[in-house]
Amino acid sequence: MSTPKTTDAPVHVESSDHLDELIADNAVVLVDYHAEWCGPCKMLEPTVEEIAEETDAVVAKVDIDELQELAREKGIRSVPTLQFYAGGEQVKEVIGVQSKEDLVDIIEAAA
C-alpha cells in the first residue's frame, strides 16, 4: 500500500464539523451511525473495527444519541446505518447488519 493509513481504529465523531472534516480530508470514509442500546450495532461493531484495521477507508463512528442533530441532518432513521463517502460525496448507504465482504466490496468500489 503506497498511501499511509490515517488510522487503524474507528474515529469517534465529536460534532457535525468533525464529520465534515473527516469526509473532506479522506478519500474513502465509512460512517457508522450507531447507539449503545442497539443490539444489531453491537453485532456489527467487530466487523467495522476489522474494516478500519484492514482497509484504507477511514471509519467514523457516530453515536446517534450523543449527536442527535447530526443524525437528523443526515436522515438517519434506524441503526445501524452505514454511509460510504468517496471524494467528499456520499456514494452508498446501507441499513442493518451487513457481511464484512459486502462492506469491503463497497469500499473497494468507491476507492
Pairing verdict, β 28-34 and 81-86: antiparallel
* DSSP 8-state secondary structure symbol assigned to residue 10: P
- For the chain, the domain total comes to 1
- For residue 58, give the C-alpha cell: 477511514
Are 55 and 109 in contact by the 8 Å Cβ rule? The answer is no
Spot the catalytic one: 38, 94, 95, 104: 38
Other C-beta atoms lying within 10 Å of the C-beta of residue 75: 9
Tell me the pTM.
0.92
CATH of the domain at 91: 3.40.30.10
41 is catalytic: yes
Closest CA to 60 of 41, 85, 91, 40: 85
- The catalytically annotated residue of 11, 30, 41, 103 is 41
Structural domain boundaries enclosing 70: 11-103
What does the block give as the cell for 56?
Answer: 484504507
Predicted pLDDT of residue 105: 97
Tell me, yes or no, whether 50 lies in a domain: yes
The 10s digit of each residue's pLDDT in 25-68 is: 999 999 999 999 999 999 999 999 999 999 999 999 999 999 99
